[in-house]
Structures are given as C-alpha cells and as structure tokens.
Amino acid sequence: MLRRLHLVSSAGPIVTTGDGKQLLNFTSNSYLGLNEHPAMKAAVVAAVNELGTGSGASLLVSGRLPIHAKAERTFARFKHAQAALLLPSGYTANLAALTALAGPGDLICLDKLCHASLIDAARASGAEVRTFPHLTTDKLQRLLQRHNSANASPNISANACGLAGDRRSPSDNARPPRRFIVTDSVFSMDGDTADLPALCDLAQQFDAVMVVDEAHGTGLLGETGSGLCEAQNVLGKVHVTISTASKALGGLGGIITAAQPIIDTIVNHARPLIYTTAIPPAQAAAIDQAVTLIQADPAPRQRVQQLTLRLRNGLKSQGWKLIPQGEFIIPIIPLVVGEAQAAVALAEHLYAHGILAAPIRPPTVSPGSSRVRLSLRADMQDDHIDRVIQAASGFCDGPIQPKH
C-alpha cells in the first residue's frame, strides 16, 4: 500500500521511466492529446512572451489579466453559462464552489463515488453531508424530502436558486437552508456516467441546487464537446458546473460556470480563490486555446472513442468482465481485480510488457474493488491498444483471476 513518487520522461503517449524503460502510457488523462498539440504550445509560448510567467497576485487584487477574462468568456460560451471563473485547479474549484455556497444547516447529497475533491469540499463547507448509492435516486429522494419537510422554506429557485448572497453561518437564520445534489458527470475510477436528467428532476422537485463536476466530461461529450450536461440536454437545469483544464483540455486550472450572481457569491466568499494567486497567464491562454480546438474539430474525440471501443471489445473477447459502459463511450477502462495486491500484480505484469498503467487501491476505491485504470488518448495508435489487449490477456491465465 506504500506509494512512491516516480519519474517519467514526458506526459505523452509514449514515455521513458527512470530506469530507462520505454512504455506506452495508459495513465494520462489528456484524452485528446492536447497537452502536446502545436497550437496549444504556441498559445502558451505567446502568452509567456507577452505577459511573463506569473500573475503576481490573487484574482481579487491585481492577478486578473485580460487573458483570464478572455478565457472565462470563452469558457462560459462553451458551457452556455452566464459566467465562468478560473481557479488554480479542479480540486480548488470544487472546494471554492461548495464552501462558498453551502454552510451549516444546509444539506449536501453526494453520489457515493464522487471524486475526493467533492467529498473534501462538502465536508469543509460545514453542511450536513450525506451520500446516496452510486447512480441511484431512491435514497437521494428520501434525504431531500426529509430536509425539505424539516425546513419549510420559500422557493429558493426564485433568486438564482437562492445562491446569491451570504454563505450561511451557524448564527445566520436569515436565509433559508439550501439543499445540494452533487455528482461527477463521468466517474473517474469507473468510467460510467450520471443520469443527469433524473437528478435535475429531483433538484427541481425539491428546490435543490444541482452541482456537476464535469472533470472527465468536458472536451469529450456532447455535440460541441462541452460535456455530459450538453450530451444529456440539461444545460439549463444545472446551477453550478465545475470543469478542470487538467484532463481533456491538456493543461491545468479549474473553471466554475454558473449564473453571474452565483459567481459573484463565490468571488466574495471562497477562501480558495481569495487567498491564492491567480493562475499564470499562459495557463489561461491554454484554456482559451483548448476550447477553440475542441469546438473547431470533433475528430480527436471521435478518435479516442474508436480506440476505447477497440480496447473494450478486445478485452472482452479475452474474457475480461468490464464495468458496463451505458450510452456514452468513455476513455477510462478499469480492470477490476479485487484485492490491492492483485491490482499491483496486474500493473507490474503490464509494466513488464511495456505498458504503464496505475494500480488504484483503497482509499481511492472501496476495499475489494482494487483495479488497474487504463485511460486512453486520441494520439495513440491502434497497435498500442492491441499491445494492451495482448498483455492483459496473458494475465487472465495467471494466478489471479479478474473479477468485477
């Protein structure tokens, strides 16, 4: 269970490790390969040449440069939202959003498999935090019903979902308690997707605030690549969306999209925004450029889907039982093997066959569901996929049988 830091030569599809071994990299979340795209590099270099390397201050002081404002406008349009707000990472964006909007007396309901950053954010908010079983709504409905009956309140949707204005504090009885439904759109360790229309219906029914973490959906799903909210046609029903630039966008940074009053509340109350320096201008330029590339060309997201299908079909034909995919093709394929040692053994087996893939163990996943997570990139070759299929099939015949 001991984790160690190790070095790889680059963040591309083929890497060399510290011991000089060349490996196919199935650990990168740069699903579209944008972290190595020439236009991305050019945008970053141009921003550095024009604006230097750092922002120099927090967004609220003097760290907000025209390139930040441009990236926020581009991103808000991409997400069909009124406004967007840049933060240093997806982790801090989740922390900023939930701690600014929720507080003691509020209820945050999370899908059981939500990302750790959402769980940490919910806990840090001081609200009551409850989980509901993955991809289900029965318990969620009961939780919302109970909070609703205990806190008869005016219709909070009337005021930008009641989200403008102060964060609730223990001594504050001025605003009605809020209810939040929080989910990942694409679940990072299982590669499956939320049923956002069902969750949005419940949010509407119980005047709850709908918050969606689109870390793994942004850039991949929907007609224009804006994410699962677009693909499931709920853009107007989700109040707060959090994206990260660290996955398909090939950079770093968190982006919250919401109505302007909600963004204003976050700007005024989110400590992870107020007390940290604005992202460097080059990162903002990368976000702006990535969105432009994603909107201009659907080919990379189609390519990564083809590769994903090739890998899924190949693994299944070798006897692997995969987590069912549902309607959307997600370039995250977990090979669930059970115990932590089995996941480490499978990762080592793949490593010996020239493939870099990460063993995922508790506490990231629940005990008994350890796995090796394969993530795919549009700039991989068919032959890379076939090598994994071959290597993993060898493991099927080994001493540890895969199971789900």
Ligand X SMILES: Cc1ncc(COP(=O)(O)O)c(C=O)c1O
In the complex, what is the shortest distance from the CB of residue 189 to ligand X, in angstroms, rounded to a whole number? Answer: 8
- Quick one: 228 or 263, whose CB is closer to ligand X? 228
Shortest CA distance to 83 belongs to which of 251, 253, 247, 265?
Answer: 265
Interacting residue ranges for ligand X, rule: CB under 6 A: 89-91, 94, 115, 117, 184, 188, 213, 215-216, 244, 246, 254
Q: Residue 149 contacts by C-beta under 8 Å, 6 or more apart in sequence?
A: none
Strand partners, 107: 128, 179
C-alpha 376, offset from chain centre: 15
In the complex, what is the shortest distance from the CB of residue 100 to ligand X, in angstroms, rounded to a whole number? Answer: 17
The CB-nearest residue to ligand X is: 90
Amino acid occupying residue 180: F
In the complex, what is the shortest distance from the CB of residue 29 to ligand X, in angstroms, rounded to a whole number? Answer: 7
- Rounded CA-CA distance 70/289 in Å is 10
- Quick one: 257 or 389, whose CB is closer to ligand X? 257
In the complex, what is the shortest distance from the CB of residue 9 to ligand X, in angstroms, rounded to a whole number? Answer: 21
In the complex, what is the shortest distance from the CB of residue 218 to ligand X, in angstroms, rounded to a whole number? Answer: 10
Tell me whether residue 223 is exposed, middle or buried, using C-beta atoms within 10 angstroms of its C-beta: 0 to 12, 13 to 18, 19 or more: exposed
- Quick one: 117 or 241, whose CB is closer to ligand X? 117
Shortest CA distance to 380 belongs to which of 287, 320, 294, 300?
Answer: 300
* 146 and 84 Cβ atoms separated by less than 8 Å: no
Q: Residue 339 contacts by C-beta under 8 Å, 6 or more apart in sequence?
A: 368, 370
Write out the E strands in 327-389: 332-338, 355-356, 358-360, 370-375
- Quick one: 118 or 385, whose CB is closer to ligand X? 118
- Quick one: 114 or 160, whose CB is closer to ligand X? 114
In the complex, what is the shortest distance from the CB of residue 87 to ligand X, in angstroms, rounded to a whole number? Answer: 9
The secondary element (H helix, E strand) that includes residue 283 is: helix 281-296
In the complex, what is the shortest distance from the CB of residue 399 to ligand X, in angstroms, rounded to a whole number? Answer: 32
In the complex, what is the shortest distance from the CB of residue 214 to ligand X, in angstroms, rounded to a whole number? Answer: 8
- Quick one: 256 or 345, whose CB is closer to ligand X? 256
Q: How far apart are the first and last CA of the chain?
A: 21
CA angle 15, 21, 26 (to 5 degrees): 40
- Quick one: 184 or 207, whose CB is closer to ligand X? 184
In the complex, what is the shortest distance from the CB of residue 90 to ligand X, in angstroms, rounded to a whole number? Answer: 2
- Quick one: 117 or 370, whose CB is closer to ligand X? 117
* Helix pair 38-51, 281-296: axis angle to 10 deg: 150
Q: Residue 158 contacts by C-beta under 8 Å, 6 or more apart in sequence?
A: none
Q: Can you say whether residue 338 is alpha, beta or left, with left for phi > 0 and alpha for psi between -120 and 50 degrees?
A: left
- Quick one: 115 or 147, whose CB is closer to ligand X? 115
In the complex, what is the shortest distance from the CB of residue 244 to ligand X, in angstroms, rounded to a whole number? Answer: 3
- Quick one: 89 or 370, whose CB is closer to ligand X? 89
Write out the E strands in 254-377: 254-258, 332-338, 355-356, 358-360, 370-375
